[in-house]
Amino acid sequence: MGKNFITGFKGGRWLSWSNSILGSRQRIAALLVLLPSYARRRGLEGIRDDLRLVGRYVNDIAHGRYRQYDGQALTLAVAAIAYAVSPLDLAPDFVPLGLLDDATVVTWAISQLGVELEKYKELTP
């Protein structure tokens, strides 16, 4: 099941959509404002810290506080956040197990961003 979520994420609109979000600070801000309340949802305890880390990473890049980033990693991070906070994705959040796809995609994205996020944590206070 998890592999299907990843395939759907990679083959869907999320990565291309993230590029359009990256072109606008306002769109990035609008996306990031949704993240804290989403991350507090019951059932997401296992990925809450990862979501917050990815949110800080994107926010610091958007505000010029972190400049040594990888562009592909940033695209993936924004796509993962957009996927997670969107109520309508492969398994809409209002159906049973609707957060499972979000957790699967975020966990996979974090695994792909591992080296980049470690570098980010080392270089930021």
Q: Give the C-alpha separation, 67 to 84, whole Å.
A: 25
User: pLDDT value at position 2?
Assistant: 59
Structure tokens at 102: 């979000």
pLDDT of residue 40 exceeding 80, the answer is: yes
Residue boundaries of the structural domains of the chain: 2-123
Q: What is the pLDDT of residues 88-114, one digit of tens each?
A: 655 555 555 667 777 888 899 999 999
User: pLDDT value at position 92?
Assistant: 54
pTM equals 0.86
Q: Give the C-alpha separation, 56 to 58, whole Å.
A: 6
Q: What is the pLDDT of residues 45-103, one digit of tens each?
A: 888 999 999 999 999 999 999 999 999 999 999 999 998 888 765 555 555 566 777 78
Sequence-distant (≥ 6) Cβ neighbours of residue 85 within 8 angstroms: 31, 34, 35, 38
Determine the Cα angle at 42 with ends 73 and 63, to 5°. 35
Q: Give the C-alpha separation, 6 to 16, whole Å.
A: 15
Interaxial angle between packed helices 48-62 and 98-123, expressed in degrees from 0 to 180 and rounded to the nearest 10: 50
pLDDT of residue 43 exceeding 90, the answer is: no
